[in-house]
């Protein structure tokens, strides 16, 4: 449980105990109002967390379906028609993405996507993957904005993993 949720639950418990011990109607009303406010906030936090988990699952499923399975038509399920693309090599729109994917995936084998990290913050999901491009290993970070249960916008950063690093910290 996140610290803020623990604090909210703890606060509700303390206020509830205070409410049961209070003989003053004014104190009971004030405590009940605070309990109701904290309960509502806790519900909002739980809903936001569930929405982020749903968004992460959407992105992970999309990534495997499109990029791993090389299923260009899966874009219809996951990507909004008016999709905004920040990668300078691909135009905006779902169809433009499908056209680019069709070119990228020619003769490419299916693969299991190697997700290194995935996280969410509100409507944004980031995913970091390890992939191979020919004989090169690549570190890819994609950021997606989710809207109405579909991917609405995308940014990416792609970096080749060097054969020798200037430090002892692995990229994966």
pLDDT for position 26: 74
Token couple for 140: 């890819």
Q: What are the start-end ranges of the E strands in 34-135?
A: 79-85, 114-121, 124-133
Mean pLDDT of 162-171: 90
Q: Which domains does the chain have, with CATH numbers?
A: 3-160 (3.10.450.50)
Q: Note the pLDDT tens digit of each residue in 15-64.
A: 566 556 656 777 777 777 887 888 888 888 898 899 999 999 999 999 99
- C-alpha–C-alpha distance, residues 45 and 151, integer Å: 22
pLDDT at 12 over 70: no
Token couple for 157: 């950063």
- C-alpha–C-alpha distance, residues 138 and 160, integer Å: 4
Strand-pairing partners, residue 136, are 133
- C-alpha–C-alpha distance, residues 67 and 63, integer Å: 5
Residue 172 DSSP class? -
Q: Note the pLDDT tens digit of each residue in 120-156.
A: 999 999 999 999 988 999 999 999 999 999 999 999 9
């Amino acid at each position: 449980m996140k610290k803020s949720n623990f604090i909210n639950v703890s606060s509700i418990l303390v206020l509830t105990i205070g409410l049961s011990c209070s003989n003053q109607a004014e104190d009971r009303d004030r405590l009940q109002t605070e309990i109701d406010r904290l309960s509502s906030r806790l519900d909002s936090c739980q809903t936001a967390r569930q929405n982020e988990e749903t968004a992460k699952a959407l992105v992970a499923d999309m990534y495997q379906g499109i990029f791993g399975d090389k299923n260009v038509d899966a874009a219809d399920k996951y990507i909004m028609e008016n999709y905004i693309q920040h990668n300078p090599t691909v135009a905006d729109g779902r169809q433009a993405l499908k056209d680019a994917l069709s070119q990228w995936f020619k003769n490419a084998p299916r693969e299991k996507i190697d997700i290194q990290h995935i996280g969410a913050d509100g409507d944004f999901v980031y995913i970091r993957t390890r992939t191979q491009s020919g004989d090169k290993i690549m570190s890819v970070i994609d950021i997606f904005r989710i809207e109405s249960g579909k991917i609405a916008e995308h940014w990416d950063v792609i970096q080749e993993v060097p054969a020798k690093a200037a430090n002892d910290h692995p990229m994966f």
